[in-house]
Chain A
Amino acid sequence: MKQSISQTISLIKSDFIKRCEYENKTFNFVQGVKLCFYPAAVGVMLFRLQAFFFQHNLNLFASIIKVINTVLFSIAIDSSAIIGERFMILHASFITIGPNVTIGTDFMAVHHNGIMASPFFTEHQSAQGPTIGNHVVLGGGGMITGAITIGDDVKVSMNASVEADFENGAVLFGVPARNVNQQKSEEAAT
């Protein structure tokens, strides 16, 4: 389904509202204009425009916007990535989101994040990227790779590398990532 220009504007507005809520400010026209000079917010806005052009088969404009976004803010998001509303990048620095990635609403990336299909050799060849639920926070340096599914309300810590499926409410640490919440509950049971 192609997204119309009004849907694109409402998506950008929802991203700006999320940003204002994070900074404890109420969203209004002045705040919106201020955010247009903020690199991380502009990066998200450029991605929404890129996705709009891609869905209307204007690939040239989409790739030009992608190059601008990459060079100015180091945010390289593939046009075919599906990201829900209220998407937020905290710091515009080295965010890579590859093709075939699906992300829910209220997603927050901090910096130095990568979400992509696994570049490593496996017997089961799959170009499918990760599927991520709603209200997920990805800490600085956190990586999510491979054809995996991550539930809602998951928190990924700094420099964690997520390579397996995790259910709702998980708190992930380490390389490769482990669920700390689950470990705590198992210790309490024993």
Chain B
Amino acid sequence: MMTFNQTLTLIKADFSRRLTLEEKRINALNMCLIAFKPGMISILCYRLSRYCFHHRLGIFCKFFSLIDQFINTNEISPQTDIGPGLVLSDAGGIGIPNLCRIGTNCTFMGYSSITLGALENAPTEDDFIHIGDHCVFGANTRIMRAVRLANGTQVKPCSVIITSVKKEGQTVSGIPAKHKHIDDYANIRQWNPLLSKSIVEAAL
């Protein structure tokens, strides 16, 4: 059961991550200002709807999901499990279904969609999409099957993923996605996808 404090911690982690990527100081004023960005509204709605889902508050869960869909056209299922440090682009159009587990510090740049085909039986552990930490999704990417993406996978724009990625720091691209070069995962952890350079910790 997820407590409200845990939800607040997750929201704080998301806001801190976005502020770090935009090279701004992490304080209360900046967090309030950044909350007006459509991408952050979307994350806030998802976290609150997930809290309501855990506490069986079905109406509020639906309400927060609907706000997200109206404002930002993102459709993120409250059943899906997303780690702290999520970054969504402001343009919206991101669809994430309920059979999905996403790691920490993942970035979705514009209308990515994670889709699963129709399942005949009840979903098992094999039917979940597992996405590792520090993954970056370019715009217009699709995931079509229950695949596993390793930590630091970089998905180039307009690719369609149908096979699992096992090596850390791999770049995948194309329709269907082919496995391209591998970068050092330690470098990818320090990469800033919003400003296209290494992360600089803001001076406090």
Contact = CB atoms under 8 A, between A and B. Distances in A.
- The listed residue with most A CB atoms (<10 A of its CB), out of B38, B89, B139, B196, is B196
Given A74-B93, A120-B138, A160 B158 contact: yes
Contacts of A112: 93, 111, 139-140
Contacts, number: 105
A175 B138 contact: no
A94 interface: yes
B139 A96 contact: yes
A127 interface: yes
Contact of B158 (A71, A75, A125, A159): A159
Contact of B139 (A117, A143, A176): A143
A141 interface: yes
B91 A119 contact: no
A65 interface: no
Contacts of A161: 138, 140, 156-159, 173
Interface in A41-96: 63, 67, 70-71, 74-76, 94-96
Contact of B187 (A76, A121, A127, A159): A121
Interface residues on B, range: 35 or more
Interface in B84-142: 89-93, 107, 109-111, 136, 138-140
Interface residues on A, range: 20 to 34
A175 B91 contact: no
A175 B175 contact: yes
Given A74-B92, A94-B111, A127-B196, A120 B158 contact: no
Contact of A70 (B92, B156, B194): B92
B196 A175 contact: no
A95 B90 CA distance: 10
In order of increasing CB-CB distance, the 6 nearest A-B pairs are A119-B193, A143-B157, A161-B158, A114-B139, A96-B91, A76-B91
